[in-house]
């Protein structure tokens, strides 16, 4: 590990300049250049064919849906779309790519010159985007022996199921003028990108499954200088938290090197889960990819009409959507932050769409359902209750059929797979009971608690709690406490 | 054009072709001849001829996003010099630091 200076010391002396490369796997049904199924995992080497195994004589063919997704991504990132562009061969020898080259794009990216506005601490920063181009993913290596790392391994195993998965690489221009906020801006950028990709429905954007990956470049230059410093590139940055942590670490490390009069070495580094970066030793050693136009594929030339049509069908940008919904729902910034933190925005939106009031929808998703999801250690959207069912539950509460307390039991039932809210109410017999049964219970409670009755008559209103409690107990909770209070007051009044 | 033997040695290294000094010395002038021939084509092509990377002037040849059967794991591994757990087994990639 290297020497570090404090973050404040580093950014007092130097301006950080960022560069971010994000790879996202598209969720098309098939791979980029062959009809093999594009899916995460599976038995090794069962989703392969001569094309993605790079066997002689095989020829790639371009997945139309992948091109469409790439254009939509470019448009959502405010990019220009090339009217004509080509694929290129990027040559390298590494066992994760059986062909010994990757089909990518070189100087003719499909999408270029865009930007994405991100917000940090209430301020908006514009991240300029250089390009978004198409390429194919590599296979998956497992290193065997040694410490399980590539260095010192006895040998490696290759699974080509992932080879040929459509990938979009989104590259920023140097991001300047963000100062000490650089790591936060980088994190906000990746989060915003993730939200956009999710809203477009083009990728699963699960960083932990590597369907969204980030390489974070950073360099330091003295404040006021115009000459970019030497950058390092940190790979293996596989969570939003890590984006921020890795950049913060690199800024402190580079700051220490420069402040002690040294020079930053241009290199690829790897993020270590224990909170530091280490120089990597990998295929960069012979970094001469000898790009040339892919002779097996013809150029891609999206028509103006097609691009316009895709532009017109883009969903509302996530940031705009958030602001609109917050306004429509009348939520505070804090309430909104909790919703976003719990990844509940779309679930609440769908629940409201299904007829529930926003505050009620918010209450269930952030309360009981969030708790159950955490308990089961699953994402909120996999908790086992749909937005429509939550709206149905709230309708029962609104109609007075359920109290909040009973509603929570209904949620447990739905999540446990006992059926729809109405079915769970029926099966568990959870309906609020009114009518003569309730009248009888109230009468019985008054008779059984003469001292409480006396207290109330003497003006000590708080004594009513004991009576309500007694009624609720005899009704096994299936009564509305407000209604019980009213009945008691009527009887005593 | 004069391609140096050093440049040819680097290309050979990039392409993982093991060449002896004698072979390098023999191949460098031959590659030179090929490069010269290609350069002649550029000279002949006037401004009215667009650079092309393909024999046909066609674009947008796409395939619908429909799954087609893959080959079996056994077939996939049938050409592998070594295999383990359904995966291709390859020699050590990097030496110990
Ligand atoms: Zn395939």
Measured in angstroms, the CA of B25 and the nearest CA of chain A are apart by 23
**Residue B47 or residue A15, greater confidence:** A15
Q: Which of B12, B52, B58, B59 to mutate to test the interface with A (most CBs of A within 10 A)?
A: B59
Q: Which of B74, B81, B87, B91 to mutate to test the interface with A (most CBs of A within 10 A)?
A: B87
Would you say A30 and A39 are in contact if contact means Cβ atoms under 8 Å apart? no
Q: Which residues of B touch A95 (CB under 8 A)?
A: 88, 90, 93
Residue A350 lies in a domain: yes
Give the per-residue pLDDT at A435.
67
Give the per-residue pLDDT at A434.
66
Contact B13 A286 (CB under 8 A): yes
DSSP labels for A200-267?
HTS----GGGTSEEEEEEEEEEETT--S----EEEEEE-SHHHHHHHHHHHHHHHHHHHHTT--PPPE
Query: What is the distance between the alpha carbons of residues A252 and A11, in angstroms, rounded to a whole number?
Result: 8
Query: What is the distance between the alpha carbons of residues A35 and A48, in angstroms, rounded to a whole number?
Result: 9
Q: Is the pLDDT of residue B84 over 80?
A: yes
Contact A153 B93 (CB under 8 A): yes
Residue A222 lies in a domain: yes
End of a domain among A401, A428, A455? A428
- Give the β-pairing of A267-272 and A232-237: parallel
Q: Which parts of chain A have pLDDT scores under 50?
A: 1, 283-284
Indicate if A144 and A178 belong to the same structural domain.
yes
Indicate if A113 and A261 belong to the same structural domain.
yes
Q: Which residues of A touch B86 (CB under 8 A)?
A: 43-46, 159
Indicate if A291 and A351 belong to the same structural domain.
no
Strand partners, A175: A18
Contact A298 B66 (CB under 8 A): no
Indicate if A385 and A367 belong to the same structural domain.
yes
Nearest to B59 among A144, A155, A300 (CB): A300
Nearest to B53 among A141, A153, A295 (CB): A295
End of a domain among A406, A428, A450? A428
Q: Which residues of A touch B89 (CB under 8 A)?
A: 155-158
Indicate if A342 and A397 belong to the same structural domain.
yes
Indicate if A389 and A444 belong to the same structural domain.
no
Give the per-residue pLDDT at A326.
95
Indicate if A85 and A141 belong to the same structural domain.
yes
Contact A45 B76 (CB under 8 A): yes
DSSP A461: G
Measured in angstroms, the CA of B84 and the nearest CA of chain A are apart by 7
Q: Which residues of B touch A36 (CB under 8 A)?
A: 67-68, 70
For A89, the 3-state DSSP assignment is: strand
Indicate if A259 and A297 belong to the same structural domain.
yes
Contact B85 A44 (CB under 8 A): yes
Nearest to A28 among B65, B93, B97 (CB): B65
Contact A158 B88 (CB under 8 A): yes
Global pTM reads 0.80
End of a domain among A378, A396, A428? A428
Average confidence (pLDDT) over B33-60: 84
For chain A, count helices (H), then strands (E). 17, 15
Give the per-residue pLDDT at A272.
87
Give the per-residue pLDDT at B97.
45
* Domain containing residue A389: 316-428
Q: Domains in chain B, please, with CATH? A: 5-44 (1.10.20)
Measured in angstroms, the CA of A244 and the nearest CA of chain B are apart by 29
Q: Which residues of B touch A64 (CB under 8 A)?
A: 62-65
Contact B71 A158 (CB under 8 A): no
Residue A2 lies in a domain: no
Query: What is the distance between the alpha carbons of residues A469 and A275, in angstroms, rounded to a whole number?
Result: 54
Q: Which residues of A touch B67 (CB under 8 A)?
A: 29-30, 35-37
Q: Which residues of B touch A160 (CB under 8 A)?
A: 76, 88
Give the per-residue pLDDT at A211.
86
Give the per-residue pLDDT at A283.
47
**Closest residue of B to A151, CA-based?**
B96
Would you say A235 and A280 are in contact if contact means Cβ atoms under 8 Å apart? yes
Contact A157 B63 (CB under 8 A): no
**Per the structure, how many domains does chain A have?**
3
Token pair for residue B26?
């023999």
Indicate if A118 and A193 belong to the same structural domain.
yes
Residue A341 lies in a domain: yes
Query: What is the distance between the alpha carbons of residues A30 and A436, in angstroms, rounded to a whole number?
Result: 64
Closest listed residue to residue A361, CA positions, set A334, A329, A337: A329
Would you say A15 and A259 are in contact if contact means Cβ atoms under 8 Å apart? no
Indicate if A211 and A87 belong to the same structural domain.
yes
Give the per-residue pLDDT at A98.
92
Indicate if A288 and A191 belong to the same structural domain.
yes
The complex's ipTM works out to: 0.86
Indicate if A341 and A393 belong to the same structural domain.
yes
Residue A1 lies in a domain: no
């Amino acid at each position: 590990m290297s020497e570090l200076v404090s973050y404040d010391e580093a950014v007092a002396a130097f301006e950080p300049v960022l560069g971010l490369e994000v790879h996202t796997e598209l969720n098309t049904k098939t791979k980029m250049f062959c009809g093999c199924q594009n899916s995460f995992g599976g038995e090794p080497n069962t989703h392969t064919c001569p094309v993605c195994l790079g066997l002689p004589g095989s020829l790639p063919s371009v997945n139309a849906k992948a091109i469409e997704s790439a254009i939509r991504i470019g448009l959502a990132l405010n990019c220009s779309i090339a009217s004509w562009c080509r694929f290129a061969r990027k040559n390298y020898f590494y066992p994760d790519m059986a062909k010994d080259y990757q089909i990518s794009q070189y100087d003719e990216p499909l999408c270029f010159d865009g930007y994405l506005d991100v917000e940090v601490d209430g301020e908006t920063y514009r991240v300029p985007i250089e390009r978004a181009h198409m390429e194919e993913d590599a296979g998956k290596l497992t290193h065997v022996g040694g410490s399980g790392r590539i260095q010192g391994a006895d040998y490696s195993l290759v699974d080509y199921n992932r080879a040929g998965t459509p990938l979009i690489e989104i590259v920023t221009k140097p991001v300047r003028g963000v100062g000490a906020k650089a790591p936060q801006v980088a994190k906000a950028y990746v989060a915003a990108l993730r939200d956009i990709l999710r809203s477009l429905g083009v990728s699963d954007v699960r960083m932990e499954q590597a369907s969204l990956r980030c390489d974070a470049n950073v360099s330091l230059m003295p404040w006021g200088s115009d000459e970019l410093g030497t950058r390092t590139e940190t790979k293996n940055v596989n969570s939003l938290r890590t984006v921020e942590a890795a950049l913060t670490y690199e800024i402190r490390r580079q700051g220490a090197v420069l402040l002690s009069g040294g020079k930053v070495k241009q290199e690829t580094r790897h993020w270590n889960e224990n909170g530091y970066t280490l120089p990597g030793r990998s295929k960069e050693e012979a970094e001469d990819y000898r790009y040339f136009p892919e002779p097996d594929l013809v150029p891609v030339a999206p028509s103006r009409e097609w691009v316009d049509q895709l532009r017109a069908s883009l969903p509302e940008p996530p940031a705009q959507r958030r602001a609109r919904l917050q306004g429509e729902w009348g939520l505070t910034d804090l309430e909104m932050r909790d919703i976003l933190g719990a990844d509940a925005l779309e679930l609440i939106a769908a629940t409201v769409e299904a007829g529930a009031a926003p505050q009620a929808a918010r209450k269930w998703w952030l309360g009981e359902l969030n708790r159950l999801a955490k308990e089961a250690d699953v994402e909120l959207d996999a908790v086992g209750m749909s937005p429509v069912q939550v709206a149905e539950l709230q309708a029962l509460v609104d109609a007075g059929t359920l109290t909040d307390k009973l509603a929570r039991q209904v949620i447990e039932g739905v999540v446990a797979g006992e059926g729809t809210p109405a079915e769970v109410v029926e099966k568990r017999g959870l309906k609020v009971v009114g009518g003569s049964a309730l009248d009888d219970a109230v009468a019985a409670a008054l008779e059984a608690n003469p001292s409480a009755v006396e207290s109330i008559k003497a003006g000590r209103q708080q004594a009513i709690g004991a009576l309500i409690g007694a009624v609720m107990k005899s009704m096994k909770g299936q009564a509305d406490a407000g209604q019980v209070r009213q009945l008691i007051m009527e009887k005593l009044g | 054009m004069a391609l140096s033997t050093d440049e040819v040695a680097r290309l050979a290294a990039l392409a993982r072709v093991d060449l002896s000094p004698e072979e390098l010395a023999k191949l460098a002038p031959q590659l030179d001849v090929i490069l010269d021939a290609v350069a002649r084509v550029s000279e002949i092509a006037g401004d009215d001829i667009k650079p092309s990377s393909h024999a046909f002037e066609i674009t947008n040849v796409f395939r619908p996003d429909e799954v087609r059967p893959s080959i079996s794991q056994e077939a996939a591994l049938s050409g592998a010099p070594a295999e383990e757990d359904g995966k291709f087994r390859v020699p050590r990639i990097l030496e110990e630091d």
